[in-house]
Amino acid sequence: MDTNALRVLKLFAVGILVNSVVTNGLSATESLETAFTQRPREMVCNETILLLEMEGCGDHFKTDMASVDPRHWCNLTHFIKEYNSFSDCTERNAMDVGCFWPNPLVESYIIRIHKQFFSNCTLERVVLVDPPEDTLTILILIPVLLTLAMIALVVWCSKRSDTFS
């Protein structure tokens, strides 16, 4: 697996995890927004324009996915190219309009796309591109677990401040 595939797989896995957290009714994205939002100082990130850009990437991805048999929508092998170009598109276009990538708005857009295509996929059903070697598994799992821990912490903190305010 090359680094690109690894990055895509990580984003995909995190997306599905975040997706299930959000589906469970926790507003992780909102919490993440307050925790992680950091605007570029000079270039202003216009969220209206950013959303339009993301929708452009999403439309492209939808067209690409239409040519993939829905039975294979949980098998990353069948659409890794399409997913990779979607992921690259969000990154490139967000940077082009002066926004950070990833950022909360992009994340919530990616989650929307995930809901649309992968709502029936679970991590167990997501098929790895190659059976990863042990080192690879660890390399993938560390950032995924870190992200999960971060989300859990943010959600826990926001719940705690809700209770005490």
Ligand X SMILES: *[C@@H]1O[C@H](CO)[C@@H](O)[C@H](O)[C@H]1NC(C)=O
Residue type, 120: N
Per CB under 6 A, 97 contacts ligand X? no
Q: Which is nearer to ligand X, 63 or 119 (CB)?
A: 119
C-alpha span between 33 and 21 (Å, rounded): 15
Partners of residue 75 on adjacent β-strands: 127
C-alpha radius of gyration, the chain, whole number = 16
The residue from 20, 75, 85, 147 that contacts ligand X (CB under 6 A) is 75
Per CB under 6 A, 78 contacts ligand X? yes
Per CB under 6 A, 120 contacts ligand X? yes
The residue from 46, 63, 122, 137 that contacts ligand X (CB under 6 A) is 46
> Which residue in the block uniquely carries the two structure tokens 């809700």?
162
Torsion of CA 152, 103, 115, 25, to 10 degrees: 40
Partners of residue 127 on adjacent β-strands: 75
Please list every residue from 9 through 28 that binds ligand X, using CB under 6 A: none
C-alpha span between 19 and 21 (Å, rounded): 5
Per CB under 6 A, 67 contacts ligand X? no
Pick the stretch among 61-69, 82-90, 106-114, 116-124 that binds ligand X (CB under 6 A).
116-124
CB of residue 113 vs ligand X: minimum separation in angstroms? 11
CB of residue 64 vs ligand X: minimum separation in angstroms? 15
Q: Which is nearer to ligand X, 11 or 76 (CB)?
A: 76
**How big is the CA angle at 143 (ends 141 and 145), to the nearest 5 degrees?**
65
Binding site for ligand X (CB under 6 A): 46, 48-49, 70, 73, 75, 77-78, 117, 119-120, 127
